Amino acid sequence: MTPEALTGGFAAPATEAAHAFRAALEAMARPGTLHRLTGATPPAPLSPAAGALLLTLADTTTPVHLAGTVDCPAVRDWITFHTGAPFAPADQADFAVGDWAALHPLTRFRIGQPDYPDRSATLIVELPTLSATGVTLRGPGIRDTAQLSLPEIAAFRANRALFPLGFDCYFTSGDMLAALPRSTIVEEA
């Protein structure tokens, strides 16, 4: 394991993980809102926000799937040392990390079962930019409407149609975080 893999975790894990968890909770509860997520300095190309999210949510019982360029030894070692999470193919992952193109096809990910809809994947989608503009969102946790710079529309409408099954998404860019749970209605452009 390279020395770089051993650095870049939370300096004060208890408080920083609690803050990050609060941000993750807020983001998912209020789709379209933007949150700053700092404290982690993972190796490139993983963003600080995605790194902090993994430090907070992943552990030895949550298989992680790395898609595309993030699937490199530096990122793997960093996740292993700091979270202990095992790596898994897409169809067994609790968390999947990658850019939008690398995560495709999305049908690979778990969407839960009717009696356990929670047994589904959470995607951590790395985006070049993230802003509260663009596609219009409606649904639980949104007063009237919200806007978010989603990479596309069709995939999220298809996912919404599976409700209560489906995957949930976090979007990360630099140290910014937003989320789109399966319950959100993504309006057509």
Partner 1 sequence: MYVAVKGGERAIDNAHAWLAEERRGDPSVTELTLPQIREQLKLAVNRVMAEGSLYDPDLAALAIKQARGDLIEAIFLIRAYRTTLPRLGASQPVETAAMAVDRRVSATFKDLPGGQVLGPTFDYTHRLLDFKLAAEGELPVAPLAPASPETVPHVTGLLDRDGLIEAAPREETPPPDLTREPLELPANRPLRLQAITRGDEGFILSLAYSTQRGYGRTHAFVGELRIGRVPVEMDIPELGFAIEIGEVELTECETVNQFKGSKTEPPQFTRGYGLTFGQTERKAIAMSLVDRALRWQELGEDFTGAPAQDEEFVLSHCDNIQATGFLEHIKLPHYVDFQSELELVRRLRAEAMQIQEAAE
Partner 2 sequence: MTERPEDLARKGWMSLLAKAPPARLAALLPDLPETALLRPAEVGSVMVRGRVGGTGAPFNLGEMTVTRCSLRLACGAVGHAYVQGRDKDHARRAAVVDALMQTPEAARIEAQVLHPLRLEAETTRTTRAAKAAATKVEFFTMVRGEDQ
Judged by the rule CB under 8 A, the positions of this chain that interact with partner 2 are: 3, 6-7, 9, 11-13, 81-82
Q: In whole angstroms, what is the distance from residue 128 CA to residue 74 CA?
A: 21
Task: CB nearer to partner 2: give 5 or 125.
Answer: 5
Task: Choose among partner 1, partner 2, none what residue 80 binds, the Cβ cut-off being 5 to 8 Å by kind.
Answer: partner 1
**Nearer of residues 77 and 99 to partner 2, judged by Cβ:** 77
35: Cβ–Cβ under 8 A, 6 or more apart, which residues? 23, 26, 27, 176, 177, 178
Give the three-state DSSP class for 16: helix
29 binds, among partner 1, partner 2, none (CB under 5 to 8 A by kind): none
**Which residues contact partner 1 (rule: CB under 8 A)?**
1, 5-6, 59-61, 80-81, 84
- Asked whether 100 and 150 are in contact (CB, 8 A), the reply is no
State the DSSP H helix or E strand holding residue 8, giving kind and residue range, or none if neither. Answer: none
Q: How far is the CB of 22 from partner 1 (least distance, A)?
A: 18
Question: In the structure, how many helices (H) and strands (E) does the chain have?
Answer: 5, 11
Q: Give the residue with the Cβ less far from partner 2, 83 or 159.
A: 83
Between 20 and 178, whose beta carbon lies closer to partner 1?
20
